[in-house]
């Protein structure tokens, strides 16, 4: 196998037409450069350069070898550049999953950032249920997924879960909604209107909320928050979501989930146990964590 440094030395001499000039460009002594080229010629088994008083010229074999050596060096340079990009997370393939609510809240900004800053990243993003993403993770189709953590039901010994953020539910209504006129909204007030949410809300109530909070189960369940927000903006429906889904045509009600006995949901990132994430996946996780953290602060100061 050819030594890339020797190929560099040979190409430099061929381009300079002189061992003296090439040694200056390479910051290498002339004897060392001469030995390097001679070693390459022995490996090739043919003379590559004719040396004369006027300088050096390529032999017939040297001309054929020179073209391929240039191509090989170009490819090696590209390989180094691309690997550096991969290690920095600016190039490569990204495959992850995210729940519907988080997707509606965070993917628009994430996709814009990927498009602007990481144009060489090929992204595959699954928006699905926890069960579907779990299977895709185990089958190797996803590097990680972010979803509501349901504890032992969600993971097994092959999957590691790390807390990512907490999500506090809010109750969103259209501008001018009758409930906005009330200084304090109670559960009985909410129950006068249709409640809408993604499927995760009713699951949370069944799994971890006290019995008296089960009355707040949504009667419209849909994992498409754009449609739910549109319905809410056009009717008296109350949308149960997170502050991250607040839009200009919706307002949050003055009611605390804690007053209703509804706990915050824990959001975790799930990976295969012991599997190191690719650099680009690590970069995207940091971006998502930043968005989650900022939104959590927004929840505290709506």
Q: How is 81-139 classified by DSSP, letter by letter?
A: HHHHHHHTTSEEEEEEEE-HHHHHHHHHHHHHHHHHH-TEEEEEEEE--HHHHHHHHHT
Residue 9 belongs to a domain: yes
Q: Do 173 and 254 belong together in one domain?
A: yes
CA 23 to chain centre: 46
Domain harbouring 112, CATH code: 3.40.190.10
Does 299 score more than 50 pLDDT? no
Cα 260 to Cα 171: distance, rounded to the nearest angstrom? 12
User: Which is more confident, 205 or 261?
Assistant: 205
SS3 (DSSP) at 149: coil
Closest CA to 128 of 91, 103, 162, 153: 103
Residue 269 belongs to a domain: no
Percent over 70 (pLDDT), the chain: 88
Does 82 score more than 70 pLDDT? no
pLDDT for position 298:
42
pLDDT for position 241:
85
Does 86 score more than 90 pLDDT? no
Q: Do 256 and 181 belong together in one domain?
A: yes
User: Which is more confident, 131 or 238?
Assistant: 238
Q: Do 46 and 75 belong together in one domain?
A: yes
Question: What is the mean predicted confidence (pLDDT) over 27-47?
Answer: 92
Q: Do 119 and 50 belong together in one domain?
A: no
Question: What is the mean predicted confidence (pLDDT) over 37-41?
Answer: 92
300 falls in which pLDDT band (50, 70, 90)?
A: very low
Does 301 score more than 60 pLDDT? no
pLDDT for position 81:
59
Question: What is the mean predicted confidence (pLDDT) over 241-254?
Answer: 82
Q: Do 77 and 136 belong together in one domain?
A: no
Residue 280 belongs to a domain: yes
Q: Do 191 and 151 belong together in one domain?
A: no
Number of domains in the chain: 3
Cα 92 to Cα 121: distance, rounded to the nearest angstrom? 5
pLDDT for position 97:
96
Per the structure, the complete domain to which residue 253 belongs is given by 169-263
Residue 188 belongs to a domain: yes
pLDDT tens digits along 92-123? 788 999 988 788 878 888 898 888 888 888 89
181 falls in which pLDDT band (50, 70, 90)?
A: very high
Q: Do 142 and 286 belong together in one domain?
A: yes
Q: Do 254 and 177 belong together in one domain?
A: yes
Least confident span in 105-109, 131-135, 195-199, 214-218: 105-109
Question: What is the mean predicted confidence (pLDDT) over 56-63?
Answer: 92
199-233 as b/e, with b when 16 or more CB fall inside 10 Å?
Answer: ebbbebbeebbeeebeebebebbebebeebbebbb
Cα 8 to Cα 26: distance, rounded to the nearest angstrom? 9
Chain-wide mean pLDDT for the chain?
A: 84
pLDDT tens digits along 133-166? 999 998 889 999 998 876 654 557 788 888 887 7
Q: Do 280 and 131 belong together in one domain?
A: yes
Cα 57 to Cα 17: distance, rounded to the nearest angstrom? 6
Domain harbouring 57, CATH code: 1.10.10.10
Predicted model pTM: 0.61
**Boundary residue ending a domain (87, 105, 136):** 87
């Amino acid at each position: 196998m050819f030594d890339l440094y020797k190929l560099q030395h040979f190409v430099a001499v061929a381009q300079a037409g002189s061992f003296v000039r090439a040694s200056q460009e390479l910051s290498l002594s002339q004897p060392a450069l001469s030995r390097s080229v001679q070693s390459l010629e022995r490996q090739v088994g043919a003379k590559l350069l004719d040396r004369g008083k006027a300088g050096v010229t390529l032999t017939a074999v040297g001309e054929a070898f020179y073209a391929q050596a240039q191509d090989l060096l170009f490819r090696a340079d590209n390989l180094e550049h691309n690997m550096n990009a991969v290690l920095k997370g600016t190039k490569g393939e990204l495959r992850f999953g995210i729940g519907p609510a988080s997707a509606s809240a965070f993917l628009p900004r994430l996709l814009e950032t990927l498009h602007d800053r990481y144009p060489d990243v090929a992204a595959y993003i699954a928006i699905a249920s926890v069960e579907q993403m779990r299977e895709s993770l185990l089958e190797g189709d996803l590097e990680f997924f972010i979803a509501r953590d349901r504890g032992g039901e969600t993971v097994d010994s092959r999957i590691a879960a790390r807390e990512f953020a907490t999500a506090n539910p809010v109750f969103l209504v259209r501008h001018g909604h009758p409930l906005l006129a009330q200084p304090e909204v109670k559960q009985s007030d909410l129950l006068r209107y249709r409640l809408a949410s993604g499927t995760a809300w009713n699951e949370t109530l069944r799994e971890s909320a006290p019995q008296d909070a089960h009355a707040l189960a949504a009667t419209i369940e849909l994992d498409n928050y754009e449609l739910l927000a549109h319905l809410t903006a056009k009717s008296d429906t109350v949308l149960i979501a997170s502050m991250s889904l607040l839009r200009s045509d919706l307002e949050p009600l003055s009611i605390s989930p804690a007053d209703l006995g509804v706990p915050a949901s824990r959001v975790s990132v799930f990976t295969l146990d012991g599997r190191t994430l690719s650099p680009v996946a690590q970069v995207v996780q940091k971006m998502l964590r930043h968005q989650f953290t900022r939104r959590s602060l927004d929840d505290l100061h709506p």
